[in-house]
Amino acid sequence: MQETIKALREELSAELAGIKNQNELETFRIKYLARKGRIAGLFDALKNVPAADKPPIGKALNELRSFAQTSFEEKEKQLQQSPIAGSRAIDVSLPGRPRPVGSKHPITQTIDELRQIFGRMGFSVASGPDIEDDYHNFTALNFPPDHPARDMQDTFFISKSILLRTHTSPVQIRVMENQQPPVRVIIPGRVYRNEAISSRSHVIFHQLEGLYVDTGVTFSELKGTLVSFAKQLYGSSVRYKFRPTFFPFTEPSADMYISCFICNQKGCPVCKYIGWLEILGSGMVHPNVLKYCGYDIERFSGYAFGMGIERMALLRYGIDDIRLYFENDLRFLRQF
Ligand code: PHE
């Protein structure tokens, strides 16, 4: 009898250790602890034990019963605490659920490519705040006090002198305030304008600014850099032209055009049937701007340029509605 008790104790311990859920535990309870269970069965068998042997065997049986009861309760507690309590067993042989993999936004991809091209030409990347002051966005860039670009129509003002930057050019000032020449940076970033939202314009878009200041920087260097850039981005057969224009912070200033590769200069809606695409504004940094930054204009000269990144991406991917970039529509984003 003692042997049977010992064997049962081992058997139920082993069984209990393998139990993984409430159902199995209930089966265990019925098998060993219930009124007709195996432990109760041994208590019944006690009747047939010779009187002299009863006390030690009875004691051993009582011990077995309380051991089984406490082990059962411990297991029950353990199962309730486990995170998969009550759930069905996990089938580890099932294939995993695939997670959707994201991709970079087309604007980020375009910025990455521009960074690479200008990085190879020695430009490093700088950045500045989206919330600017009037001084950096306008004054130090040589905007006269009554310049129309300061008009409330174009600019989101936060207070009289604080605004959302309308271009990345204020970062030119911030870089030059903190660094003596040579300066050779590109500045990608968000800009804001108070305009009606349509397929062609948005209140928020991105620009990439370039600035190079050193001794003896010339306009032909500006052209050489931009032509090299355009050929790297659009292919070596691209044609280009520069056309004089005006910016308060550059003199002389020029817009750069490339041949429309969408229609091969035959005329299409993207180039508005002129065969040429305007891709950026540029010019030699105005001496007043250098002076605002404390640069010696007898020693230093420089050039700057600025382009709209949405426009670059449009020409790269053929996206004809600027709003698509900001709507986070997965049907659009999944294509990149
Ligand atoms: N900041 C100008 C714009 O927003 C672009 C530009 C930058 C032009 C640098 C010349 C030099 O239109």
Q: CA-CA distance, 194 to 153, in Å (whole number)? A: 6
The closest residue, in CA terms, to atom 4 on ligand 1 is 167
The closest residue, in CA terms, to atom 9 on ligand 1 is 305
Q: CA-CA distance, 35 to 41, in Å (whole number)? A: 8
Contact assessment for residue 322 and residue 205, using Cβ atoms and an 8 Å cutoff: yes
Q: What is the pLDDT of residues 117-126, one digit of tens each?
A: 999 999 999 9
Indicate if ligand 1 lies below 6 Å from the C-beta of 250: yes
Ligand 1 center to residue 208 CA distance, Å?
9
Is residue 150 over pLDDT 80?
A: no
The residue type found at 50 is: P
Is residue 307 over pLDDT 70?
A: yes
Is residue 88 over pLDDT 70?
A: no
With H, G, I as helix, E, B as strand and everything else as coil, classify residue 244.
strand
Ligand 1 center to residue 307 CA distance, Å?
7
Q: Which atom of ligand 1 is nearest to the CA of 167?
A: 4
Q: What is the pLDDT of residue 167?
A: 96
CA angle 229, 233, 235 (to 5 degrees): 105
Indicate if ligand 1 lies below 6 Å from the C-beta of 306: yes
Indicate if ligand 1 lies below 6 Å from the C-beta of 247: yes
Distances (CA, A) of 62 to 3, 37, 50, 285: 15, 14, 18, 98
The closest residue, in CA terms, to atom 5 on ligand 1 is 306
Ligand 1 center to residue 282 CA distance, Å?
6
Q: Are strands 250-259 and 240-247 parallel, antiparallel or unpaired?
A: antiparallel
Indicate if ligand 1 lies below 6 Å from the C-beta of 282: yes
Average pLDDT, the chain: 90
